[in-house]
Amino acid sequence: MALSTNKVAKVFVHFVRNYSAETTKHYKVVVAGGGSGGLSIGARACRQFGVGNVAIIEPAKVHFYQPMWTLVGGGVKSFSQSGVPTQDILPRGCKPYNQYLQEFDPERNTVTLKNGEKLSYDYLVVALGIQINLNKVEGLEEALKHDKNVCTNYLSEYVVKTFPAIQDFRGGNAIFTFPNTPVKCAGAPQKIMYMAEDYWKKHGVKDKTKIFYNTSLGVIFGIPRYAASLMKVVERKGIILNKRQNLKAVDHAKKTATFDLLDSEKGETQTYHYDFLHVGPPQSGPDVLKNSSVPIVDETGFLDVDKNTCQHVKFPNIFGIGDCTNIPTAKTAAAVAACSGHLFRGIKDMEAGKKPSGTYNGYSSCPLITDYHHCILAEFAFDGQIYETFPLDQSKERRTMYHLKRDVMPQIYWHMFLKGYWNGPGTYRKIMHLGMCC
Ligand SMILES: Cc1cc2nc3c(=O)[nH]c(=O)nc-3n(C[C@H](O)[C@H](O)[C@H](O)COP(=O)(O)OP(=O)(O)OC[C@H]3O[C@@H](n4cnc5c(N)ncnc54)[C@H](O)[C@@H]3O)c2cc1C
């Protein structure tokens, strides 16, 4: 009898240790966020550290290849082609947590999940992406829900509205917006505009249409070489470019969009009637990064990391990748790929008792689709330095680049990038330039 009580007690202790929400489970690497960056690093970590040593915290049931959403919005690809069940692409041997991360405690090397579970780590990789803030524009969420002429390629639930809205458009004012915040893929708000213009031209609607690009920026694109080419596209297509205008409110009952005129000293606004509205929504560092026992973000709300090694500036065993970091380059999947090798080398260096030796140069890229057959492939690094892969003038609109974007990049993403085998096109660039370039 005494023995069986002992056994019961042992089973109870085992249960409490392993299954209670209070138990802290330890991993060599915990990856917070299983999007593009999290899966790519998670795959490398699983190969390096073996089964059961890597946890990936990711609440989404479907993983989306977001760069495809421009093509979904343009009607070139179907929505279903852009996503796969997350569980099908998780790295083999990882321990998945289908949960939201809720709190960081970098001094104790732990994170807490929404269900109360705690995980501790040797290394934490933060890959939480950027947060979309629809609520920063008055009436936007209602308009997206209730007005078939209002859409955005930035969210899975609304990207499916874009192509039907383009097809449904019968002329009038078509407005495309770019917000006054950091964004992922700064080209996305204008790529869809160029595709829509092409569609409306082919379907005889263009003559009855005014197309507006209302951007909070003072330029069409941040890199002058590509901005010059894009300005020619804007002129050729007769697009009205309104700089320094930031979407403030949408009234879908009246079909109006109101913009702050950012250079107005009197705080003036301008209201437009719209018949079609594609919104580049306001974005920010994820709120959850602020739920930390000690600050891990900079003053802009993004994870504070070293731009070359991706290592946190205060906590050496924390690394950050992708859109949630303050690395000063364009927030793209291309940037995630290019820095992932440097980040992971840092973890291996630390395991060997050395300092991280990553030398990420800020490489990022943006395939700027200009119609249903052409694309300008912008490639650049920190401080706008040009890093073109092909030995030809990539600031020109080219059919080859369009096929690269539509047909080749998705294959690289699903089969190499997510498996942690793609560090960007650096090696190919060297080969194509016969070793005589960056
Ligand atoms: C319309 C559009 C077009 C684009 N076009 C291009 C392009 O042509 N080329 C290009 O390179 N890039 C493009 N991008 C950008 C690219 O998709 C992102 O830069 C890239 O996905 C960033 O990767 P990430 O890992 O930082 O973030 P994400 O891939 O967004 O992953 C973040 C993950 O964190 C998870 N998460 C969030 N909160 C929590 C939490 N509390 N706990 C746990 N997990 C959480 C999310 O569910 C998500 O899976 C485009 C994006 C959009 C929207």
Per-residue pLDDT of the chain (438 residues; tens, 9 = 90+): 444 556 665 555 444 444 444 589 999 999 999 999 999 999 999 999 999 999 999 999 999 999 999 999 999 999 999 999 999 999 999 999 999 999 999 999 999 999 999 999 999 999 999 999 999 999 999 999 999 999 999 999 999 999 999 999 999 999 999 999 999 999 999 999 999 999 999 999 999 999 999 999 999 999 999 999 999 999 999 999 999 999 999 999 999 999 999 999 999 999 999 999 999 999 999 999 999 999 999 999 999 999 999 999 999 999 999 999 999 999 999 999 999 999 999 999 999 999 999 999 999 999 999 999 999 999 999 999 999 999 999 999 999 999 999 999 999 999 999 999 999 999 999 999 988 877
DSSP for 193-255?
Answer: HHHHHHHHHHTT-GGGEEEEEEESSSSSSSSHHHHHHHHHHHHHTT-EEEESEEEEEEETTTT
| Contact indicator for 269, 263 with CB cutoff of 8 Å | no
CA distance 356 to 342: 8
State whether the beta carbon of 70 lies less than 6 angstroms from ligand 1: yes
223 lines ligand 1 (CB under 6 A): no
Domain boundary assignment for the chain: 2-130+286-357, 132-284
**Per-residue model confidence (pLDDT) at position 7:** 63
CA of residue 409 to ligand 1 center, whole Å: 16
C-alpha to C-alpha distances, 306 to 284, 328, 382, 387, nearest whole angstrom: 19, 10, 13, 21
Picking from 28, 75, 63, the residue whose alpha carbon sits closest to that of residue 47 is 28
Can you tell me which atom of ligand 1 is nearest the CA of 367?
8
Q: 67: closest CA among 411, 433, 415?
A: 411
Q: Measure 61 CA to ligand 1 centroid, in angstroms.
A: 14
The Å distance, Cα 28 to ligand 1 centre, comes to: 24
Q: What residue owns the CA closest to ligand 1's atom 53?
A: 154
Which among 370, 69, 66, 67 is positioned nearest to 199, based on CA atoms? 370
Fold of 132-284: FAD/NAD(P)-binding domain (3.50.50)
Query: Does the CB atom of residue 257 touch ligand 1 within 6 A?
Result: no
End-to-end CA distance of the chain: 76
Provide the pLDDT for residue 2. 47
- In ligand 1, the atom with minimum distance to the C-alpha of 100 is 42
Q: Which long-range contacts (CB under 8 A, 24 or more apart) does 404-412 make?
A: 404/367, 404/375, 404/377, 405/71, 405/367, 405/369, 405/375, 405/377, 406/71, 406/76, 406/77, 409/67, 409/367, 410/65, 410/68, 410/81
C-beta of 36 in contact with ligand 1 (< 6 A):
yes
Q: Rounded to the nearest whole angstrom, what is the distance from the C-alpha of residue 66 to the centroid of ligand 1? A: 7
Task: Give the CA dihedral 348, 351, 352, 353, nearest 10 degrees.
Answer: 120
Correct CATH for 2-130+286-357 of 3.40.50.150, 3.50.50.60, 1.10.1370.30, 3.30.720.110: 3.50.50.60
Which residues are tagged catalytic? 185, 366
CA-to-CA distance for 252 and 393, rounded, in angstroms?
A: 43
Q: How remote is the CA of residue 252 from the centroid of ligand 1, in Å?
A: 28
Q: Is 273 helix (H, G, I), strand (E, B) or coil?
A: strand
Cα of 175 to ligand 1 centre, how many Å?
25
Q: Is the CB of 288 under 6 A from ligand 1?
A: yes
**Do 2-130+286-357 and 132-284 have matching folds?**
yes
**Can you give the pLDDT at residue 21?**
47
CA distance 195 to 197: 5
Whether residue 38 has its Cβ less than 6 Å from ligand 1: yes
> Cβ(364)–Cβ(335) under 8 Å?
yes
Task: Please identify, by atom number, the ligand 1 atom nearest to the C-alpha of residue 333.
Answer: 11
Q: Is the CB of 154 under 6 A from ligand 1?
A: yes
- Ligand 1 atom closest to the CA of 40, numbered from 1: 25
Report the atom number in ligand 1 closest to the C-alpha of 324. Answer: 26
Contact between 42 and 56 (Cβ < 8 Å): yes
DSSP state, 414? I
Pairing of strands 83-85, 101-105: unpaired
Ligand 1 pocket residue status of 362, Cβ below 6 Å? no
Three-class DSSP category at 25: strand
The protein residue whose alpha carbon is closest to atom 15 in ligand 1 is 332
Q: Is 286 in the pocket of ligand 1 (CB under 6 A)?
A: yes
**Cα 159 from chain centroid (whole Å):** 15
CA of 87 to the centre of ligand 1 (A): 17
Q: What is the pLDDT of residue 5?
A: 59
Instruction: Tell whether ligand 1 has an atom less than 6 A from the beta carbon of residue 125.
Output: no
Q: In which region does residue 59 sit, left (phi positive, over 0), alpha (psi from -120 to 50) or beta (all else)?
A: alpha
**Predicted local distance difference test score (pLDDT) of residue 75:** 98
| 337 Cα nearest atom in ligand 1 | 11
